[in-house]
């Protein structure tokens, strides 16, 4: 049996020193280069043989929205008031209502907690922005590497979606919030691995299922709780696109994985777990604590012990786990390794939730209702 150390570099998924050992050392760099080893595949078979992917492509063509005109950028945003109203969203389980006697938070005032909320918004939207650029690059790569014409068509439509997502998150950060954060080290490491892997299905698994799946859940969580109307509408549009993107990954990989051997599937299971842990580590917000003047080693143990933290953390995987089940990865070839790992990190309860290949149409319909958000 493969142990955690062989897959994620540590036995304990909550090992603070191992988590903080992953750092982003070139935070001031403007460009970051990763060598992609994948082959560009031409196909001379133009027959449309995958109806489910064709349906997604047709839906994508009629669901395009314009970030400049469909969103009211004149909407005023008082970030401090938003932070005050969105404490549950911003705190990720860490709130002033907990007993912080004897900790670094013991002397914090209400203004300190609001400032944390403001910085948490800046950090969260910055990571979404960086993740969307990762999706933009990965999807362009999928156009090159996937062997089916139906998948190339859909992936090309997703490139436009991802460019629009980068555009609107960047604009929201620049015009409505108060600062950018560099890409989180754990997120960057995951994006680097996804882009550099030569196998097209690993790009799908890493981006379409894992990164986009977590983003879809996070967007839904924030959309439900935020009181800010511009962000609420922005997320509603982005969620409709993301649901199609994840469905694209599920539909494509289900067919491909049905032909893989046990050892090949095991490798995909291990990659899915590694990606899950890196995304989980990302939400410990180590860059934010450093900006606030704290040593993350003093703060992160408190974050991990916050009573509401496990609920929030598990919710982030509410899309990933059922999609992995749909792909047959939880118990591939009677191997329950990934099921056991998801049980270890407390997210297996979501396995029987509806998978995204079945729910995307509902999310798309709701998101493209042009009525104003209440």
Selection from 93, 83, 94 nearest residue 125 by Cα? 83
User: Could you identify the residue written with the tokens 């790569």?
Assistant: 141
Asked if pLDDT for residue 343 goes beyond 80, the answer is yes
Q: How confident is the model at residue 157 (pLDDT cuts 50, 70, 90)?
A: very high
> Which is more confident, 179 or 100?
179
In terms of Cβ atoms closer than 10 Å to its own Cβ (0-12, 13-18, 19+), residue 215 is buried
For 358-362, what is the mean pLDDT? 69
Considering only 1-5, 13-17, 88-92, 352-356, which range has the smallest mean pLDDT? 88-92
pTM of the model: 0.92
Considering only 98-107, 117-126, 255-264, which range has the smallest mean pLDDT? 98-107
Q: By percentage, how much of the chain surpasses pLDDT 90?
A: 68
Asked if pLDDT for residue 374 goes beyond 50, the answer is no
Q: How confident is the model at residue 100 (pLDDT cuts 50, 70, 90)?
A: confident
In terms of Cβ atoms closer than 10 Å to its own Cβ (0-12, 13-18, 19+), residue 212 is buried
String of DSSP letters for 246-294: HHHHHHHHHHHHTT--HHHHHHHHHHHHHHHHHHHHHTT-HHHHHHTT-
pLDDT tens profile 30-88 = 899 998 888 999 999 999 999 999 999 999 999 999 999 999 999 999 999 998 887 65
Please list, in sequence order, all residues whose beta carbon lies within 8 angstroms of the beta carbon of residue 167, skipping any fewer than 6 positions away: 67
Which pLDDT value is given to residue 84? 86
Asked if pLDDT for residue 373 goes beyond 50, the answer is no
For 136-152, what is the mean pLDDT? 96
Q: How confident is the model at residue 92 (pLDDT cuts 50, 70, 90)?
A: low
Q: How confident is the model at residue 367 (pLDDT cuts 50, 70, 90)?
A: low
181-to-47, 129, 173, 178, 373 alpha-carbon distances in Å: 45, 10, 10, 10, 29
For 157-169, what is the mean pLDDT? 98
Chain-wide mean pLDDT for the chain? Answer: 89
Instruction: Give the distance, in angstroms, between the CA of residue 42 and the centroid of all CA atoms in the same chain.
Output: 30
Which pLDDT value is given to residue 183? 96
For 101-109, what is the mean pLDDT? 87
8 A C-beta contact, residue 249 and residue 208 = yes
For 295-320, what is the mean pLDDT? 84
Which pLDDT value is given to residue 90? 54
Which pLDDT value is given to residue 93? 58
Which pLDDT value is given to residue 58? 95
String of DSSP letters for 176-207: HSS---PPPHHHHHHHHHHHH-S-HHHHIIII
String of DSSP letters for 202-255: HHIIIIIIIIHHHHHHHHHHHHHH---HHHHHHHHHHHHHHHHHHHHHHHHHHH
Q: How confident is the model at residue 368 (pLDDT cuts 50, 70, 90)?
A: low
Which pLDDT value is given to residue 309? 77
For 247-251, what is the mean pLDDT? 93
- The fold of the 51-63+79-90+108-367 domain, in CATH, is Ribonucleotide Reductase, subunit A (1.10.620)
Residue 52 DSSP label: H
């Amino acid at each position: 049996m493969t142990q955690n150390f062989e897959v994620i570099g540590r036995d304990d998924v909550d090992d603070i020193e191992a988590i903080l050992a992953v750092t982003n050392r070139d935070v001031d760099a403007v460009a970051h280069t990763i060598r992609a080893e994948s082959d560009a595949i031409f196909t001379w078979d133009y027959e449309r043989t995958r109806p489910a992917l064709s349906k997604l492509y047709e839906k994508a063509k009629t669901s395009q929205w314009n970030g400049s005109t469909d969103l009211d950028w004149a909407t005023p945003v008082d970030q401090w008031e938003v932070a005050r109203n969105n404490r549950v969203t911003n705190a990720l389980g860490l709130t002033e209502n907990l007993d912080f006697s004897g900790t670094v938070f013991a002397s914090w005032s209400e203004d300190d907690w609001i400032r944390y909320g403001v910085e948490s918004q800046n950090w969260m939207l910055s990571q979404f922005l960086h993740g969307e650029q990762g999706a933009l690059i990965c999807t362009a790569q999928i156009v090159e590497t996937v062997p089916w014409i139906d998948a190339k068509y859909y992936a090309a439509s997703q490139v436009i979606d991802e460019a629009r997502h980068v555009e609107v998150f960047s604009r929201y950060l620049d015009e409505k919030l108060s600062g950018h954060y560099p890409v989180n080290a754990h997120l960057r490491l995951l994006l680097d691995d996804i882009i550099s892997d030569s196998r097209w299905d690993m790009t799908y698994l890493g981006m379409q299922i894992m990164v986009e799946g977590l983003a879809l859940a996070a967007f839904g969580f924030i959309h439900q709780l935020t009181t800010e109307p511009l962000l609420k509408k922005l997320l509603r549009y982005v969620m409709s696109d993301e649901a199609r993107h994840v469905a694209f990954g599920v539909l494509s990989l289900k067919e491909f994985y049905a032909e893989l051997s046990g050892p090949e599937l095991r490798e995909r299971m291990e990659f899915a777990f590694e990606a899950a842990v890196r995304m989980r580590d990302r939400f410990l917000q180590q860059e934010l604590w450093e900006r606030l003047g704290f040593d993350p080693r003093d703060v992160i143990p408190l974050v991990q012990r916050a009573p509401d933290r496990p609920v929030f953390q598990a919710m982030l995987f509410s899309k990933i786990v059922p999609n992995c089940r749909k792909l047959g990865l939880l118990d591939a070839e009677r191997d329950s390794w990934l099921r056991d790992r998801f049980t270890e990190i407390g997210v297996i309860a979501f396995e029987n939730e509806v998978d995204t290949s079945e729910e995307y149409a509902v999310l798309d319909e709701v998101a493209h209702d042009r009525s104003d958000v209440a």
